[in-house]
Every structure is written in C-alpha cells, then in structure tokens.
Amino acid sequence: MDQLLAALEREAVAEVEEKLERAKAEAAELLTECQAELAQRLDDQLRDRERELGVQIALEVARAQRVGRSEVLLARDGLLSRVREAVVGRLADLAQDPGYRARLPEGLREAVGFLAEGPAEVVCSFQLAAPLAAALDALGREDLTLREDPGLEPGFVVRARDGHAEVDARLATRLERMWPELSLAVLASMEERGWWVRAELDGDGPGGGGSGDAASDNEGAGGADGRLE
C-alpha cells in the first residue's frame, strides 16, 4: 500500500510539474507576443508623430516664406511709392528743362498727327505757352490754336474742336502710363545699387534725398511717344 501511495504521489507531482512547465511556456510565449505587439504600437505611434511633426514643420516653413515674401513686397512697394512721389515732385521742374523743351516741337507734331485733319486746340500749362506757340508757328497749321490753362498740370493736351479725339501729353499722364515699365527699371537699379536706396530716399544717403537720380532717369519722358503707347 505504501508503495502504491508513493507511486501515485510521484505521478501527481510529475503531472503538476508538467502543467507548471506548460504554463510557464505559455506565459513566456504570451509575454513575447505582448512585447512584440507593444513594440509595433510604439513604432506606429512614433511614425504617426513624425508625420504630424513633418506636416507642422512644412506648414511653419510655408508660413514663414509667405510672411517673408509679403514683407519684401511691402518694402518694395513702399520704396517704389516714394520714388514715384519724388518723380512727381520734379515734374514742374522738368517742364523747364531745356532738353524737354527742345523736344516739344517733335512731341507736338506727333500728337497732332494722331488726330484727323481738322481744327484742333492745344491746351498747355503756363510754363510751356511760349515754346508751344513757337512750335505751332513752325507747323504752319492755321486750324490749330493755343490756349493757356493755369490749372493744367505740366505738359499739354491736343483736342479736336469737334470733340472726336484728344491726345493727352501731360507729364503726369505719361508717368502714369509708363510707370509699370519704369518701376521695373527702378527695382533693377535697387538690386544693382543695394538697399541703401532706402536711406537715400530718407534723406540720409548720398545726394540728400535720393530723388534726383529717379527724376533725371525720367527726364526723357518729354515727347508724345510714351504717352501714345
């Protein structure tokens, strides 16, 4: 009997040990699977976070670029506005420029040529009455008359008597038409000379105001060609 009980005890112990080993093996396998699943989740979360950060960085870079471009455009617009103001301030002086006055006969002839034959009136600012009167005499057109208008901006206007056409050769009008092209030339000059043009326009740079160069660059706007483009 004792031997039988001992044998049964040994079998029970062996069975328990076997089950314990199986349980340990299953637990180890489950732990490995859980660790692998956790590592995969962590990798997925890390990749998602990296993508989110990448998108945020790209958005911030794009925003910074937009802000930078906007600031540059605003600065350029401001400089161009100040250059234009300086040029406008020189138009009255330009009307007295000998080179401009020397080109008035040619400009008047071109302006009149754009009108059909017939009576017309040349209206001019007070500064140009004398040279335009001489230019009209040289044309020998009895159907053309000259009228001085004290309120007219520097330059002249040729109007057909019947009102069918008008040629505006005022300096301010020509500047308005030519400004897109002139502004490109101004920007190119700024690029070549550097942003110290800002200081010139403030009156701190060479020349005490910077408007002289801009105005002199446009002194060729005296005839009718730019106005008629």
The CA distance from 87 to 211, in Å, is 7
Query: How high is the pLDDT of residue 157?
Result: 92
CA 217 distance to own-chain centroid: 22
pLDDT at residue 128 greater than cutoff 60: yes
Q: Give the Cα separation of 129 and 152 in Å (integer).
A: 12
Q: Is residue 2 very low, low, confident or very high in pLDDT (cuts 50, 70, 90)? A: low
Q: Order of strands, edge to edge, in the sheet holding 166-168? A: 144-148, 120-124, 156-160, 166-168
Retrieve residue 71's tokens: 């600031």
pLDDT at 221 over 60: no
User: pLDDT of 171-210, one tens digit each?
Assistant: 888 888 888 888 888 778 777 776 544 544 454 443 444 4
- Is the separation of the CB atoms in 126 and 150 below 8 Å? yes
In this model, does residue 19 exceed pLDDT 70? Answer: yes
The answer to whether the beta carbons of residues 94 and 154 sit under 8 Å apart is yes
Domains of the chain and CATH, by start: 90-217 (3.30.2320.30)
What pLDDT is stored for residue 150 in this prediction? 85
Percentage with pLDDT > 70 across the chain = 78
DSSP conformation class of 221: T
Cα-Cα-Cα-Cα dihedral sign, residues 36, 39, 40, 41 = positive
Between 146 and 118, the higher pLDDT residue = 146
* pLDDT at residue 54 is higher than 70: yes
Torsion (CA) 18, 24, 27, 32 in degrees, nearest 10: -120
| pTM greater than 0.75 (yes/no) | no
Cα gap 32→36, rounded to integer Å: 6
